[in-house]
Structure 1
Amino acid sequence: MAVPPAGVLAGIADLLHDLPADRGGALWRLSDEGRQLDANIIRMLPAARVAGHVEPDLDVLLCVLSGSGRLETDTGGRQELAAGCVAWLPRGVRRALFADEDGLVYVTVHCRRPGLAIRSAAVAQGGEAACLLNRICPGCDLPAEEIGARYCSRCGSRLPS
């Protein structure tokens, strides 16, 4: 497997330039093949929130790039976030994010999730097992909490159709 080239992948000023004021969600994601990490740059609009949730499998590193807000966890309580803050979100810890009136732009980094494996599944009479790929958020790589949701309740990204 070829090693991807090292170097600058994105510029925050370029990502935010000419971005509509009402556009939140994933602005960028690490997508090179062969990577061991997943990374996303997320923009939360003013007063937006990522509902409390638990990531059961992965530790997440969060670094605030611009704006301000707060992080609430069941182990660390309420903590203020501002540009330059770095937070560690251990797996299994309930967390929620809240953006202040200036919004919040942050990067998350975690181990790459293993790809969805194709396993033998019980085939329903008259068809195949249901595909749930339309419930996987492109912004945070987690399944949507609500069946039929059009947007991720955690990061605000539009879910695949």
Structure 2
Amino acid sequence: MASPTGPPQPDAGAAARVLCDVRALAGDPPAPSGVLWKLAEPGRQLDANLVRLPADARVDTHAEPDLDVLLLVVTGTGVMDTPDGPLPLAEGALVWLPHGSVRSLAAGPEGLAYVTVHRRRPGMRIGRRPGGG
């Protein structure tokens, strides 16, 4: 809750905790593909996912128009194609994807597991369209 005299105060019930071991989830053979874990804590302000792409799989070209995204490579290798050229990715690479940035992603021969983190999207709201009647 915001204080009239200072910054927001911490939630009295908030506590830091370990949510999962991303290296263990991403490396367990046989490593599945797709979303292996997602942040689902109630009241969170962030969204986060652990994603695994199998060998040579691709995420097609896209852009996130509204949110900055951090991408952390957990295991494997790959290449992120951007308008400025390819970015080689390996374990430990931390990539900032500013909102509006265009990219595609290709996993290397051993696959690629990565964590994405971004601000949580607001829920859908019922109301009138801007300029609508």
TM-score calculated relative to the size of structure 1: 0.67
Supply the AA of the counterpart residue of 2:48: A
Contact 1:4-1:32 within 8 A present in 2 as well: no
**Corresponding position of 1:11:** 21
Q: Cα deviation per residue 1:21-75 (whole Å; 9 max; x = unaligned)?
A: 4x3111111111111111110001100000000110001000000000001112x
After TM superposition, the runs of 4+ consecutive aligned structure 1 residues lying more than 2 A away are 1-5, 16-21, 118-121
**Corresponding position of 2:39:** 30
Uncovered stretches (5+) of structure 1, i.e. residues with no partner:
122-161
Contact 2:26-2:74 within 8 A present in 1 as well: no
Change (3 A) 1:13 1:33: same
Asked if 1:42 is matched to 2:42, the reply is no
Higher gyration radius (CA): 2
Q: Cα deviation per residue 1:85-137 (whole Å; 9 max; x = unaligned)?
A: 0111111111100001100000001111111223358xxxxxxxxxxxxxxxx
Change (3 A) 1:120 1:3: farther
C-alpha distance in 2, partners of 1:16/1:88? Answer: 21
Asked if 1:109 is matched to 2:117, the reply is yes
**Corresponding position of 1:146:** none
Which of the pair is proportionally richer in strand?
A: 2
Of 81, 99, 105, the residue aligned with 1:72 is 81
How many residue pairs get aligned? The number is 119
- How far has the Cα of 1:19 moved from its partner? 5.4
C-alpha distance in 1, partners of 2:107/2:87? Answer: 12
TM-score calculated relative to the size of structure 2: 0.80
Uncovered stretches (5+) of structure 2, i.e. residues with no partner:
1-10
RMSD, aligned CA: 2.0
Percent of aligned pairs sharing the same letter: 50
Of 81, 100, 104, the residue aligned with 2:89 is 81
Q: Which deviates more from structure 2 when the two are superposed, residues 50-59 or residues 8-17?
A: 8-17
